[in-house]
Structures are given as structure tokens and as C-alpha cells.
Amino acid sequence: MPQHNIYDEYKGFRLWNYMTCEKDEEGREVWQIKVEVRRGRDEVVIPAVEPEQTYIDRMYAQSAGRELGKRLVDEAGL
């Protein structure tokens, strides 16, 4: 199961996107994300959130993680 951990920056925060890939019954990739917001390298500001939705492509998962992270920061008023 491949795993990719990447981050984007938004308003001075790091939006960590932990992405894992599994295969469905038909052998297609299915990507799941968890998003965590950090200040700097280590201070977790918003703990990891795992949406129910899965994605059929790594780039869709990456984009969705970025958007979720931005929304979490904005909704928290940070």
C-alpha cells in the first residue's frame, strides 16, 4: 500500500496531507487522505481529519487534501 506524506503552506501553516492507496476489487487505485494542520514543523494546531470520501487518482487526493486543509484553517479562524 503506497503512502505519500506531503504538505502545502497556507497562511503560515503547514497543511499535511497523509495519502494512502489501496486497490479495489477490480484492481483500481483508491486513495484515502488524512489532513493535519501544523504551525512550523511540530506543533499540531488541528489534529488529523479523515474524510469519508476516497479518490481515484493521487492528484485528486492531493488537491482535495489541500482544499480541506485551507477550509479547516479558515473555519477555525486562524
Taking CA atoms, 9 is separated from 25, 41, 49, 66, in Å, by: 36, 11, 17, 9
At 27-49, the pLDDT tens digits run: 999 999 999 999 998 999 999 99
Kindly indicate the confidence band of residue 2, based on its pLDDT and cuts at 50, 70 and 90.
confident
pTM value surpassing 0.75: yes
E-strand ranges in the chain read 3-10, 13-23, 29-39, 43-49
**Which H helix or E strand runs over 74?**
helix 58-75
- Are residues 35 and 49 in contact, defined by beta-carbon separation less than 8 angstroms? yes
Would you kindly state where each structural domain of the chain is located, as residue ranges? 3-75
Q: Please, is 65 exposed, middle or buried when counting C-beta atoms within 10 Å of its C-beta (0-12, 13-18, 19+)?
A: buried
